[in-house]
Amino acid sequence: MNRQDWYLNKLGISQYVLRKPNVIQGEAKVEITDNIKLIVISEHYPKEKIFQDILKAIHVTLDDCLILKPAQLLITADKIFSVIWFLDQPIPENWSEQDISSKPIIMTNSLAELASSPQQKRQLWQTLCQYENYFRSY
């Protein structure tokens, strides 16, 4: 027991201990519901205007989009049926080449780089057009 713990104990102050610290760190199990059309894997929540513009162009709302940090992506590729966008992130090492060969996967650099590169925007748009059936609502 360190000095601070000892003082708090003497004053009768209870200290809280987290039972599941992984939940706060973003490593809790994430459920992918049926309405999710796009899963974005990014270290930071995308706040750039280009991200909103892309979602608007493909008719996907934030409610239809699941944004995860790489540590939260604990599910294997074969259990994902949505488009997966790795935003400045590599594909997880535990995903086999066979699993990802048939998955709709988008890989881009950061949104800042994407916004400043017409060639990267064109490539992204071509990829999004290939996956347009995943974004439609029936």
Could you tell me where the beta strands, DSSP code E, fall in 1-138?
38-41, 65-68, 83-87, 105-108
pLDDT of amino acid 90: 93
Distance between CA atoms of residues 35 and 106, nearest Å: 19
- Our separate counts of H helices and E strands in the chain read 7, 4
Q: What predicted TM-score, i.e. pTM, was given to this entire model? A: 0.77
Kindly report, residue by residue over 70-93, the tens digit of the pLDDT.
888 877 777 888 999 999 999 988
pLDDT of amino acid 82: 92
Kindly report, residue by residue over 51-65, the tens digit of the pLDDT.
999 999 999 999 999
> How many CB atoms neighbour CB 70 within 10 A?
13
